[in-house]
Amino acid sequence: MQHHSQDLSKGPTAVKTGTTIISETVITPEEIERHIAEGKRMQAEAIRVFLGGAFRRLTALFPPRHAQTPVREKHLSRA
């Protein structure tokens, strides 16, 4: 399957990649690694926020059970 821009019947302009070189700046491997690490950090933060919100919504559905207070003797039946 080909993308419509890869149709060779349209001439040589159809196979352009769409990549434009803006400048001759070289990106170092360290910069690439830093950007990847920053993207992973941002993704982890987004997941943390999402899961925190989901957990809060779930806990709102189920109210916490309070610890039962000890039963005093006067509340016991004398049957």
Structural domain for 32, as ranges: 27-59
In a domain, 8, yes or no: no
The secondary structure of residue 23, as a DSSP letter, is -
pLDDT digits (tens, 9 = 90+) for 41-75: 999 999 999 999 999 999 999 877 776 666 566 66
- Give the pLDDT confidence score for residue 63 in this predicted structure: 78
Tell me whether residue 3 is in a domain. no
Side chain identity, residue 49: V
Locate all alpha helices (DSSP H) within the chain, ordered by sequence.
29-61
Task: Round to whole Å and give the CA distance between 9 and 15.
Answer: 10
Q: Are 15 and 6 in contact (CB under 8 A)?
A: yes
Question: Encoding tokens for residue 34?
Answer: 């830093």
Who has greater pLDDT, 22 or 36? 36
Looking at the chain, the whole-number percentage of residues with pLDDT higher than 70 is 54
Q: What percent of the chain has pLDDT over 90?
A: 41
Q: What pLDDT shows up at residue 24? A: 75
Whole-number Å distance between alpha carbons of 74 and 72: 6
Residue 2 is assigned to a structural domain of this protein: no
pLDDT at 65: 76
Residue 4 counted as domain residue: no
